[in-house]
Amino acid sequence: MLTEQRQELILKELNKKGIVKVNQLVEITNSSESTIRRDLSYLEQENKLKRVHGGAALLEGRFNEESFKDKLIHNKKEKVSIAKYAASLIEEGDSIYLDAGTTAYEMAKLIDKKNILVVTNGVDNVDLLLDRGIDVYILGGKIKRKTKAVVGSDALKNLEKFRFDKVFIGINSIHLEYGLTTPDTEEAIMKKRAIDNSTESFVLADHSKFDKISFVKVTDFSDVIIITDKEQSNYTKHTEIEVTE
């Protein structure tokens, strides 16, 4: 079995069970214990799992989520690269939906078009956009403390009124079998509605988001174009992927 195939199998098993033992992976992959330990070390360096005594575990629970502040420092260089590429796709006259994710936040700093209108549920996006002379609508509703995203029935009702040329959303997890997922039900609903109301939908996701599963499905690959920082050969036959490198 090729290394890439073996590591994909390890991640698939981990995403099913949440935690796996080395001896289980030895049996599943028909590999030696030393080979599996090397694979686990590599995948941990790639931020795709964490080593535990005797095996490996998911980095976090499927419905747990880091705060906006904590997420902002992860893969900063990659997020800026994705944000720069995404911002270049905006054209004068566009109506845009900008999600509350940290890569969308970096994108708000880089948009250079003035004759556009942006709707957002990201509280921290507003000042950045106003400072750039861009007209902004902030959705009304409940603000989540952790992610600073506006969610809930009021926000959804507000969002339903709009139609967009392009939407840009963040995502927590991308998986070949389970599609695009996120830990929070309310945020998942907001993301899906924005996608449904747009001509083009772009997902902003650095390489660490792939081969993972979160609690709630947002949408299928067919609904979006993924912008990422590294080639994802396993996914290109399932969806359109734009790579910034």
Taking the domains of the chain in order of start, what are their residue ranges? 3-57, 68-243
Residue 70 confidence class, pLDDT cut points 50, 70, 90: low
Alpha-carbon distances of 145 from 58, 68, 119, 232, rounded to whole Å: 24, 9, 20, 33
Question: Residue for token digits 């609904």?
Answer: 223
Alpha-carbon distances of 245 from 46, 78, 80, rounded to whole Å: 17, 9, 12
Q: Shortest CA distance to 167 belongs to which of 127, 208, 132, 139?
A: 139
**CB distance 68 to 25 below 8 Å:** no
**Which pLDDT does position 100 carry in this prediction?**
93
From the options 3.30.70.1140, 1.10.630.10, 3.40.190.290, 1.10.10.10, give the CATH code of 3-57: 1.10.10.10
CA 40 vs. chain centroid, Å, equals 23
> What is the arithmetic mean of pLDDT over 118-137?
96
Q: Shortest CA distance to 80 belongs to which of 54, 51, 50, 110?
A: 110
**CB distance 22 to 33 below 8 Å:** yes
Residue 66 confidence class, pLDDT cut points 50, 70, 90: low
pLDDT digits (tens, 9 = 90+) for 197-223: 999 999 999 998 888 888 889 999 989
> What is the arithmetic mean of pLDDT over 144-155?
92
Query: What CATH fold (topology level) applies to the domain 68-243?
Result: Rossmann fold (3.40.50)
> What is the arithmetic mean of pLDDT over 164-170?
97
Nearby residues of 69 by Cβ (< 8 Å), 6 or more positions away: none
